[in-house]
Structure 1
Amino acid sequence: MTAGVIEGARSKGQKIVLCAAVLLAAIPPLVALLRSMPMLPYAATSLGLIVLAIAASRGGGQVARLAVTTALMGTVMLITASLRGHPWQLDSHMLYFAALAGIVVLVDIRALLLGAGLVAVQHVAFSVAVPSLIYPAADLVTNLQRAAFHGVVLVAEAVALVYTVLLRQKQVAQADADQARVTQALAEAQKSKALADEAQAGQAEVVTALRGTLAKLADRDLSGVIEQEFPGEYDQLRTDFNTAITQLSETIAEVTARAVDLAEGANEITEATNDLSRRTETQAATLEETAAALDEITSSVKLAANGASKVEEYVTETKGKARASGDLVSAAVSAMSSIEKQSDEIQNILSVIDDIAFQTNLLSLNAGVEAARAGEAGKGFAVVATEVRTLAQRSSEAATDIKKKISGSSEKVDEGVEMVSRVGTALTDIIERVDEISTYVSEIARTTAEQAQGLNEINAGVVSLDRVTQQNAAMVEQCTAAVHSFGGHTRELRLSMQRFELAVGARAPHSRSDPGSTVVAFPDEPRMVDGLPKPANASAGH
Structure 2
Amino acid sequence: MTTETLDLQRRVGGRVVIGLIALLAPMVAAARLLTGEAVIAPLVTATTLAVAAGLLWRIGRGAVLAQMGLAAVLMAQVSMLVGALAGHSWQVDMHMAYFAALAVLVVFSDWRVIAAGAAAVAVHHLALNFILPAVVFPGGGDLARVIVHAVILIVETLVLVAVTNSVSTMFARIERTMAETAAAREAAELADRQTRESEEAQQHLRDQSIAERERNAREQERAVTRLGQGLSRLAEGDLTTRIDDDFPAAYRLLRDDFNAAVERLAASMAAISDVSGGLRGQSDQLARAAHQLAERTMRQAAGLEEAAAALEEITTTAGSTAQGADRVADVSAQARTHVNQSMEVVQSAVTAMTRIDGSSREISQIVGVIDEIAFQTNLLALNAGVEAARAGDAGRGFAVVASEVRALAQRSAEAAKEIRALIQESGRQVGDGVAMVGQTGSTIDGMVERFTEINGLIREISRACAEQSEGLGQVNTAVAMIDRTVQENGAVVDETNDAVTVLNREAKRLGDLIAGFRLPSGATAALAA
Provide the TM-score with structure 1 as the length reference: 0.46
The higher radius of gyration belongs to 2
Q: Which has a greater percent of helix?
A: 2
Provide the TM-score with structure 2 as the length reference: 0.47
